Amino acid sequence: MDFSIAEYGAVGPLNGKLSRGQVRDILGPGFEVFWKTTDSLNATDAYIQLDLHVYYDARDMVKGVEFFERSTVSWNGHKLVGETSTDVLALFRRHGIDPVIDDDGFEVGELGMGFYVDDDDDLITTLYINLRREIHLTASCSNRSQR
């Protein structure tokens, strides 16, 4: 399945206006439901074959998607997860976007993206994409390193 990012709020067929039922219709039946943390407001759907997690708010509306290394998420024709942060940072900078680097990785606020980078090999292991502007990106990424 194509998970390309063209604008804030959408990745492939997913966007922040979809309900849990609509997401399941789009992505199919191959999911497991789990609670990401004990503080989570709602359960998360894990699509193992697609290597992603879908997060929902208390009303069961999509708020974001977390992609892992085997996923096919891309921006501007370039794969984002499983690549080095050096290459992906350079890609954004070539397009006039200046990511904000932090201790865990970096964020691209313009596109609602939060990247987790493995310190040992500079590989991006996780990408959280916020699909709703009203949800602050940093709060959504606070648990991105917990899989």
pLDDT at 40: 87
- In the chain the domains, ranked by start, together with CATH numbers, are 3-141 (2.60.460)
pLDDT tens digits, the chain, 147 residues: what are they?
Answer: 899 998 899 999 999 999 999 999 999 999 999 999 988 889 999 999 999 999 999 999 999 999 999 999 999 999 999 999 999 999 999 999 999 999 999 999 999 999 999 988 999 999 999 999 875 544 444 444 444
Q: Which of 113, 16, 119, 105 is nearest to 74 (CA)?
A: 113
> How far, CA to CA in Å, does 91 sit from each of 70, 79, 133?
20, 11, 23
Give me 93's structure tokens.
Answer: 């900078």
Q: How far apart are CA 80 and CA 110, in angstroms?
A: 16
pLDDT at 134: 74
Determine the 3-state secondary structure of 54 from DSSP. Answer: strand
Q: How far apart are CA 21 and CA 84, in angstroms?
A: 35
pLDDT at 136: 53
